[in-house]
Amino acid sequence: MQINVALVLLRIASKPSIYQRELPQYVPLSQSTAARIVDRLSDRGGLGLVTAREDFEDRRTNILALTTRGQETVKRLLAKL
C-alpha cells in the first residue's frame, strides 16, 4: 500500500465523517490527488474501503467514512506498525 493511501485511510479512521475537502489540511496532498485516492478507495467502483456520501447541505462535497472492510484494513495496517 502506498504511503499516501495509508495516510488517507488513517485520517478517515481517526475522524469519521470527515469532509473530503478537509483531507489536504491533514495529509500533505493536493485536493486533486486526495480525490483520486478517495475514488480508488471508494465503494463506488473502487476497493470498497471508504464510503463517500454527498453532503445534503453542499452537494459539491463528500462526507467520508470507512466501510467495515476499511476498518479491518486499518486494523491490519496499525498492527504492522
Q: Going from the N-terminus, what domains does the chain have, and what CATH number goes with each?
A: 3-80 (1.10.10.10)
Query: Which pLDDT value is given to residue 71?
Result: 97
Q: What per-residue confidence (pLDDT) applies to 59?
A: 80
Q: How confident is the model at residue 1 (pLDDT cuts 50, 70, 90)?
A: confident
Confidence of residue 46 (pLDDT cuts 50, 70, 90): confident
DSSP string, 3-32: HHHHHHHHHHHHSTTEEGGGHHHHSS--HH
Its pTM stands at 0.88
pLDDT at 58 over 90: no
Cell for 43?
465503494
Task: Please report how many Cα atoms fall inside a 13 Å half-sphere around the Cα of residue 67, on the Cβ side.
Answer: 14
